[in-house]
Amino acid sequence: MDFSAFSSQFLVGLSRAMILFVVCGGLSFVLGVLRVPNIAHGSLYMIGAFATFTFSKLIGGSAGFWIALILAPLLVALVSLIAERGLFCHLYQREHLMLLLFTFAVSLILGDLVKIVWGAEYRSVSPPTLLKGSLSIFGASLPRYNLFLLIIGPLVAIALWLFTNKTKIGKISRAAAVDREMVGVLGINVSWVFAIAFVIGCYLAGVGGALVAPTASIIIGMDHSLIIEAFLIVTIGGLGNMWGALVGSLIFGVTQSLGVLIWPQFAIVFPYMAVVIVLLLRPKGLLKSVW
Amino acid sequence: MKRIVAMNSLTLITAFLATLLILVPFDASAQKPIKVGVIDTYTGPAAVFANDALNGFKLALDEINKKGVLGSKIEFTTRDDKWKVDLGMSVAKELVMREEVDLIVGTINSAVTLAISDYMKSEKVPFIVWISKSEHITGSKGHRYVFSTGENTAMAGKAGGVALAKKPYIKYWIAGDDYEYGHAIADAIWRNLKALKPSVEKMGETWWKTGEPDLIPYFTSVIGAKPDAFIVCGGGMTMANSLKACKTTGIHEKIPVFMHTATDHAVLKPLGLEAPEGVMGTMDYHFYYPETTANKAFVKAFQDAYGAPPGFPAFHGYITAHFIAEAFRKAGAIDKEKFINALEGMVIDSPGGKIEMRACDHQAVLPFYLGVTKKVPQYNFLISGDIVTLAGKDVMPSCEEIMKARGK
Amino acid sequence: MRDKEERELYREIIRSKWFGFSVGIVFLLLILPLFLPRFYVYILALIYVTSLLAMSLNLVVGHGGMFQFHHGVFYGVGAYTVALMLKKTSLPMWMGFIAGPIAAAIVGLIIGWFCVRLTRLYFGMLQISLGSLIWVIVFRWYSFTGGDDGLPGILMPPLLSPLNHSYYFILIILLICLIIMYLILKSPFGSTLQAVRDNPQRCEAIGVNVRRHQLMAVVIATFFAGVAGVLFVVLERSAFTELLFWVLSLEIFIMCLLGGWFTFAGPIIGAAIMVALRTFVGIFTEYWTLILGIVLILLIFFLPEGVVGFFQEIFKPRSKEATEGGNQ
């Protein structure tokens, strides 16, 4: 296997990890603040992808994708806000198992809603003209769109870091993750903190869905395959830890891509094995959990 | 204590009875229609084909039910297997045991087909497969109760072998969906190609999980391996996805790509003008070729009814309905065994000419068209160009070969 | 249990009004195949298999308080073990039937050993991760497990081939397992387990080895899940990767919740309702999961004790044991 093949696979894996990170960053954030793994995260990701298709088709042309990239996650955030304010917030007093099952119920409902709204057939979105075709890097060909992902990923990471460390809301969310009672005692409406954290996390799921749209078929069922990967990633990263989500995504994306080179049939097993190895050594995840 | 027990009992009994009552079928039709159960994948990428087939089937039924069959109408009910074998099995059981259908048609996932076929054999109910392509359906695992109105991998393999043997490529890479159909088409094409041109070499194989949405890492890996040509064995979930990955990675511009069904309309239409040009493919139906009166009439009727031209599934669904009607008419009664006897060897007229349901293996004899995807000004999707026709009987395995495969 | 305690327990059981009623139901179930159409016999048998699975999960969730998020893995391991043995080897059927639950219990022991080191959400997420590895290997090992295609067309011996025979076999095994589970829960082990569920710290303090108890509970539960897996193969003559997929694991969870996870027979009702709903709703609409999601939300908001729990609550408002109050 020559270097160009290896590097091209590595870069493809890295770019895939970026999408995973965007999604898992959101999942981790929600997990950290609300202490509940949001199973509906996968469905929101799927809505993001389908919405990207609709918006880009409506607006048409190359600009279509860019505008969809902005609008689709907003739509997803809106959906999550409705779910949160309408139903979810009433459950905050209940035990966590109920919250988890609630997110599962929402994922079931959203999954079928997508089918009702968009139909059961698959959709396809093309990358915008700027990002079509491939480039030659180190003698290997890398689709331009994947290069774009490699740039977006770190940008999202930086944006998240700035948010949680430099903005007031971000800092309050971080505090609520560690000790929600204290935050309440300080006079801050914890319920609204949860709402904001939840919506932002889901917004990121929508962004992830929008980003993945031009690379893969947009199909019913993409929520199920994604959510299991996302769960594994946040588990090995450390529950609620966003840098952990980054580390986990990198491990996952890169091991799968390299797996394609080594043993294509079992490529998808490599990341799962990596997860198990990490967990056997550090059962609570690589980085410290937020709580 | 007494009341608790009483409440528990009441609860249990109520739940139990409600459960039973809910499941009682409450239809009581006067004149017994011919009941057909349709099992197909109406969720996910394969739904494009399933809907196409159902539309062809319905179009034919509209014509047929005007006259009726043996004084009854043909009715159908659909079930979604969602591409899963376990769901396919449970709906098949429900259709046979609860709905008591006279026969079942459909399926696109070859694994679902084989599982249902096995069940239908034990229940002695006819099963007509209209999209699934594994040659094992009417070949090694065929039996009295299963028929196919679609082409299969043995035929496609031979056509593919013929096409590729003419080309100068020596080193091949084969990739595809890791399930029944993927392996069947890969084996068939390679077997035939190797027989016609022994100098070909298989550089490597790649099998991804069926319906894998992100094929780019696999395709870039193949580009890196630098074969002379690339054979893709994608099934219903993957056909269009592979073409999209071709376009994104540009693999087809560097390495010639061959894929059975790449030239089908149902596959090319969703991609529009974004589909890759120059991909070689084989198909058993095109709405634009050959331009016979029968084909044009069928296409017009389909277009009027559904707003788009038909793909190969619609063609198969259409001829399935006609086979069913004619077989029952010939049988003279709504009897499963008589139906099967009548269907064996039957020849019907179709938009593709006369089609025979071969008696020895229950396989419809269909023509094959080799082509290359290309853009044309009059459509905003790609079509098959440079078409070469192969007659059905030239690509099918002989009856002796079939019997040998079945171990007889 | 000591002899005298045993005799007391049996006397208590027989004297309870439950007993006569249960015998009546069992008799009814035994004679049903004689006059019920085939489809309903099949659905009932499917309900039995699912009930056993749900009951096995409830051992650790409802009565043990553990976050067993991927119970389906053990079900699948049981099913695949017997399916592979019947398909690939010519070993006698009985060996396969015994190997299934044992394999499931071994896997349960291994996964459980790692999981009981953690609590609550960590327990659950770790189990999902470990279980998913098993799923993905079975899913991708096409040449051995049939991968995505599953293992259909497994031949059952002539004794179990007809649907009615399978029905009786499954029913009898279910009843035996239910009796064993009931005895386990009533035993000191069962009481300790429930105590651990309610207050693990206090149990540690009085010298109970919490981890060992939990691990034993997991092994027992996974053994029964393996039995359910074997029964699945007997009924359906196939094994599928869906049995190992996380969605099914969560569905079993819902069954326990639906029925009432602090009750004994709750999961059976939950399983029956789920199977009936899925079959019935699936006939009329393809949006079965939407209905399930709505039902689940209604459950969470209005009926968290489940169907059986709800009825029990109405007629026993205050004198419920301390276990009920153990809800955090």
- A138 vs C219, more confident: C219
Chain C, window 75-114: residues with a beta carbon less than 8 angstroms from a chain A beta carbon: 114
What is the per-residue pLDDT for B221?
A: 85
Q: For residue C3, give how far its alpha carbon lies from the nearest alpha carbon of chain A (Å).
A: 40
Is pLDDT of A238 > 60?
yes
Average pLDDT over residues C218-225: 96
What is the per-residue pLDDT for B227?
A: 93
The residue type at B180 = E
CB contacts of A115 in chain B (<8 Å) are 43
**C301 C-beta neighbours (distance < 10 Å), count:** 14
Give the three-state DSSP class for B74.
Answer: strand
What is the per-residue pLDDT for A284?
A: 84
Highest mean pLDDT among B13-22, B234-243, C186-195, C310-319: C186-195
Question: Is some CB atom of chain A closer than 8 A to the CB atom of B217?
Answer: yes
Q: Single out the residue of B257, B267, B266, B262 nearest to residue B281, CA to CA.
A: B262
Whether residue A209 contacts residue A48, with contact meaning beta carbons closer than 8 Å, is answered with: yes
Q: Could you tell me the pLDDT band of residue C325, with boundaries at 50, 70 and 90?
A: very low
Query: Least CA distance to A265: which residue of chain C?
Result: C140
CA distances, B290 to each of B155, B287, B356, B367 (Å):
19, 8, 19, 11
Residues contacting residue B58 through CB under 8 Å, at least 6 positions apart: B317
Task: Please name the residue that has the structure tokens 């290069």.
Answer: A147
Chains A, C: CB pairs < 8 Å: 114
What is the per-residue pLDDT for C25?
A: 86
Is pLDDT of B300 > 90?
yes
Whether residue A15 contacts residue A179, with contact meaning beta carbons closer than 8 Å, is answered with: no
Q: Percentage of residues in chain A with pLDDT exceeding 70?
A: 98
C236–B2 CB contact, under 8 Å: no
Chain A, window 218-277: residues with a beta carbon less than 8 angstroms from a chain C beta carbon: 224, 228, 231-232, 234-236, 239, 265-266, 268-269, 272-273, 275-276
**A167 C-beta neighbours (distance < 10 Å), count:** 11
Question: Is some CB atom of chain C closer than 8 A to the CB atom of B208?
Answer: no
Residue numbers of the domain that contains A19: 13-220
A3-54 pLDDT, tens digit per residue, is 777 888 888 899 999 999 999 999 999 998 888 889 999 999 999 999 999 9
How far from the centroid of its chain's Cα atoms is residue C232's Cα?
12
What is the per-residue pLDDT for B355?
A: 92
A217–B209 CB contact, under 8 Å: no
Q: Is residue A61 part of a domain?
A: yes
Q: For residue A119, give how far its alpha carbon lies from the nearest alpha carbon of chain B (Å).
A: 8
Q: Examine the domain organization and report whether B148 and B158 are in the same domain.
A: no
Domain count, chain B: 2
A105–C300 CB contact, under 8 Å: yes
C262-321 pLDDT, tens digit per residue, is 888 899 999 999 999 888 888 888 888 899 999 999 988 988 888 888 777 776 655 444
Q: Could you tell me the pLDDT band of residue B265, with boundaries at 50, 70 and 90?
A: confident
Task: Please name the residue that has the structure tokens 């800092």.
Answer: A171
Cα–Cα distance, A109 to A154 (Å, whole number): 33
Is pLDDT of B2 > 60?
no
B22–C283 CB contact, under 8 Å: no
Polymer length of chain A = 291
Instruction: Please list the alpha-helical segments (H only) found in B152-197.
Output: 153-165, 180-196
Q: Could you tell me the pLDDT band of residue B17, with boundaries at 50, 70 and 90?
A: low
For B316, the token pair is 């198969």
Whether residue A260 contacts residue A266, with contact meaning beta carbons closer than 8 Å, is answered with: no
Chains in contact with chain B (at least 3 beta-carbon pairs closer than 8 A): A, C
Instruction: Identify the residue among C110, C289, C327 best suited for mutation to test binding to A, counting A beta carbons within 10 A and taking the highest.
Output: C289
- A172 vs B147, more confident: B147
Q: Examine the domain organization and report whether B126 and B240 are in the same domain.
A: no
Is pLDDT of A139 > 70?
no
What is the per-residue pLDDT for A262?
A: 86
* φ and ψ at residue B78, rounded to 5 degrees: -105, 150
Q: Considering the entire predicted model, what is its pTM? A: 0.88
Is pLDDT of A74 > 50?
yes
* φ and ψ at residue B386, rounded to 5 degrees: 50, 50
Whether residue C297 contacts residue B39, with contact meaning beta carbons closer than 8 Å, is answered with: no
Chains in contact with chain C (at least 3 beta-carbon pairs closer than 8 A): A, B
Average pLDDT over residues B229-233: 94
Cα–Cα distance, A11 to B65 (Å, whole number): 59
Is pLDDT of B7 > 90?
no
Residues contacting residue C314 through CB under 8 Å, at least 6 positions apart: B7
Give the three-state DSSP class for B38.
Answer: strand
B183-206 pLDDT, tens digit per residue, is 999 999 999 999 999 999 999 999
Tell me which H or E stretch contains A173. Answer: helix A168-178
| Pairing assessment for the beta strands B347-350 and B353-356 based on DSSP bridges | antiparallel
Is pLDDT of A1 > 80?
no
Q: Is residue A101 part of a domain?
A: yes
Chains B, C: CB pairs < 8 Å: 114
Cα–Cα distance, C260 to C308 (Å, whole number): 6
Q: Examine the domain organization and report whether B258 and B389 are in the same domain.
A: yes
Average pLDDT over residues A164-178: 85
CB contacts of A104 in chain C (<8 Å) are 250, 254, 296
| Partner residue opposite C293 with nearest CB, options A109, A224, A268 | A109
Give the three-state DSSP class for B200.
Answer: coil
B207–C276 CB contact, under 8 Å: no
Please, which residues bridge with residue B232 across strands?
B175, B259
How far from the centroid of its chain's Cα atoms is residue B57's Cα?
13
Whether residue B133 contacts residue B153, with contact meaning beta carbons closer than 8 Å, is answered with: yes
What is the per-residue pLDDT for B15?
A: 59
| Partner residue opposite C296 with nearest CB, options A97, A105, A116 | A105
What is the per-residue pLDDT for A267?
A: 87
B47–A120 CB contact, under 8 Å: yes
Q: Is residue B25 part of a domain?
A: no
CB contacts of A16 in chain B (<8 Å) are 214, 217
- C327 vs C211, more confident: C211
Query: Least CA distance to B19: which residue of chain C?
Result: C276
Q: Examine the domain organization and report whether B256 and B236 are in the same domain.
A: yes
Residue numbers of the domain that contains B214: 154-284+368-395
Cα–Cα distance, A36 to A30 (Å, whole number): 7
CA distances, C217 to each of C59, C77, C182, C220 (Å):
7, 18, 13, 5
Cα–Cα distance, B224 to A2 (Å, whole number): 8
What is the per-residue pLDDT for B210?
A: 84
Tell me which H or E stretch contains B355. Answer: strand B353-356
B238-262 pLDDT, tens digit per residue, is 888 888 888 888 888 889 999 999 9
B342-368 pLDDT, tens digit per residue, is 999 999 999 888 999 999 999 999 999
| Partner residue opposite A228 with nearest CB, options C122, C126, C246 | C246
Q: Is residue B231 part of a domain?
A: yes
C128–A235 CB contact, under 8 Å: yes
Average pLDDT over residues A45-71: 91
A261–B249 CB contact, under 8 Å: no
Whether residue A238 contacts residue C110, with contact meaning beta carbons closer than 8 Å, is answered with: no
| Partner residue opposite C39 with nearest CB, options B11, B85, B94 | B94
Chains A, B: CB pairs < 8 Å: 110
Cα–Cα distance, B49 to A121 (Å, whole number): 9
Cα–Cα distance, A137 to A74 (Å, whole number): 34
How far from the centroid of its chain's Cα atoms is residue C269's Cα?
12
Whether residue C224 contacts residue C73, with contact meaning beta carbons closer than 8 Å, is answered with: no
Q: Provide Rg for chain A, Cα atoms.
A: 19
**B184 C-beta neighbours (distance < 10 Å), count:** 26
Cα–Cα distance, A5 to B119 (Å, whole number): 46
Question: Is some CB atom of chain C closer than 8 A to the CB atom of A282?
Answer: no
Instruction: Identify the residue among B109, B216, B233, B268 best suited for mutation to test binding to A, counting A beta carbons within 10 A and taking the highest.
Output: B216
A112–C126 CB contact, under 8 Å: no
Q: For residue A102, give how far its alpha carbon lies from the nearest alpha carbon of chain C (Å).
A: 6
Task: Please name the residue that has the structure tokens 């709204």.
Answer: A117
A107–C293 CB contact, under 8 Å: yes
Q: Is residue A208 part of a domain?
A: yes
Q: Is residue A135 part of a domain?
A: yes
CB contacts of B42 in chain A (<8 Å) are 120
Please, which residues bridge with residue A134 across strands?
A143
Q: Is residue A152 part of a domain?
A: yes
Highest mean pLDDT among A148-157, B317-326, C254-263: B317-326
Starting at the edge strand that comes first in sequence, how are the strands of the sheet with B229-233 ordered? B201-208, B171-177, B229-233, B257-259, B280-283, B368-374, B383-390
Instruction: Report the b/e string of C31-44 with b at 16+ CB within 10 A.
Output: ebbeebebbbbbbb
What is the per-residue pLDDT for A123?
A: 83
CB contacts of A226 in chain B (<8 Å) are none
Question: Torsion angle, CA of A39/A41/A44/A50, rounded to 10 degrees?
Answer: -100
C121–A265 CB contact, under 8 Å: no
Strands (E), C70-192: none
What is the per-residue pLDDT for C69?
A: 93
Give the three-state DSSP class for C133.
Answer: helix
What burial class does residue C14 get, using C-beta atoms within 10 Å of its C-beta: 0-12 exposed, 13-18 middle, 19+ buried? exposed
For A53, the token pair is 């298709």
Average pLDDT over residues B103-109: 95
Q: Is residue B408 part of a domain?
A: no
| Partner residue opposite C238 with nearest CB, options B16, B115, B179 | B115
Q: Examine the domain organization and report whether B340 and B296 are in the same domain.
A: yes
Q: Is residue A271 part of a domain?
A: no
Average pLDDT over residues B13-21: 59
CA distances, B126 to each of A131, B115, B334, B408 (Å):
52, 14, 12, 21
A101-136 pLDDT, tens digit per residue, is 999 999 999 999 999 999 877 788 888 888 887 787
Q: Examine the domain organization and report whether B202 and B61 are in the same domain.
A: no
DSSP letters for A94-159: S-HHHHHHHHHHHHHHHHHHHHHHH-SS-B--PPPGGG-SEEEETTEEEEHHHHHHHHHHHHHHHH
Supply the CATH number for residue B84's domain: 3.40.50.2300
What is the per-residue pLDDT for A6?
A: 83
- Asked, as a colleague might, if the bond just before B290 is cis with ω within 30 of 0, I would say yes
